[in-house]
Amino acid sequence: AQSVTQPDIHITVSEGASLELRCNYSYGATPYLFWYVQSPGQGLQLLLKYFSGDTLVQGIKGFEAEFKRSQSSFNLRKPSVHWSDAAEYFCAVGASGTYKYIFGTGTRLKVLA
Amino acid sequence: DGGITQSPKYLFRKEGQNVTLSCEQNLNHDAMYWYRQDPGQGLRLIYYSQIVNDFQKGDIAEGYSVSREKKESFPLTVTSAQKNPTAFYLCASSFTPTATRNEKLFFGSGTQLSVL
């Protein structure tokens, strides 16, 4: 069965520090992978997506993610976090050719000034 | 600007009452979705619609109903049969109903439903 795991429920970093949010997936074929960000009381905004090709994907707001097939991972990174990055981050997998998008349980990021 | 509009932002339901959450999109998308979000549980699919006058149950459809009479609109009714309706409800849409390399979900800003 397809699944997405985000092992970290909460992460706290200092402003200016680097960030890595973990995501592991389970899917039989090459998945479509996404990272979304959600501010409190708001909808989700797409940060980046991976379908094929270059395993390092660049997104908006200075985020990037690396697809590692051998580890079934799609971790999100940012070299220097800003206070405005405080939000909840969701990893998702799209099952190719279906309506199905499966979301992880989210990682809540807190940024210390 | 194109987008998805959900209303109301906050909604309160009395016991035994049905309530309807509105979702309208002007993106000309064929597919629309309703998700339920509970703290620590991520997003769970309630219903989805691939085209007008057609919709399918998702993973947690019990206690909910939908209609898709117009391409732009996909209202969700939370019925009295839904015993634990308190949650954040998100409507989403996509141009096509299947995950492809060019697809992504667009989300509304959500409705918080609480029980009085």
Q: Enumerate residue ranges in chain B where pLDDT < 50.
A: none
Residues A10, A110 contacting (CB under 8 angstroms):
yes
Test B41 with A105 for CB contact under 8 angstroms: yes
Q: What's the N-to-C CA distance of chain A in angstroms?
A: 41
| Mean pLDDT along residues A79-92 | 96
pLDDT of residue B101: 64
- B108 part of contact set with chain A, CB < 8 Å: yes
Q: Is B74 helix (H, G, I), strand (E, B) or coil?
A: coil
Question: Which chain B residues are closer than 8 Å to A4 by Cβ?
Answer: 42
User: pLDDT of B89-116, one tens digit each?
Assistant: 999 999 877 767 667 899 999 999 998 8
Q: Is the peptide bond before B75 cis (omega within 30 degrees of 0)?
A: no
CB distance A13 to A109 below 8 Å? yes
Phi/psi at B105 (nearest 5 deg)? -95, 140
Beta-carbon pairs below 8 A across chains A and B: 68
Question: By three-state DSSP, how is residue A85 classified?
Answer: helix
Nearest in space to B104 (alpha carbons), one of A51, A107, A72: A51
Strand-pair partners of B114: B12
Cα–Cα–Cα angle for B75, B63, B77, rounded to 5 degrees: 20
Chain A CB contacts of B100 under 8 Å are 32, 96-97
Contact B31 A99 (CB under 8 A): yes
In this predicted model, what pLDDT tens digit does every residue of A7-58 receive, in sequence order? 999 999 999 999 999 999 998 777 889 999 999 889 999 999 998 788 899 9
**How do strand B64-66 and strand A64-68 relate by DSSP bridges?**
unpaired
Beta-strand pair A19-21/A73-78: antiparallel
Query: Whole-angstrom Cα distance, residue B109 to residue A92?
Result: 18
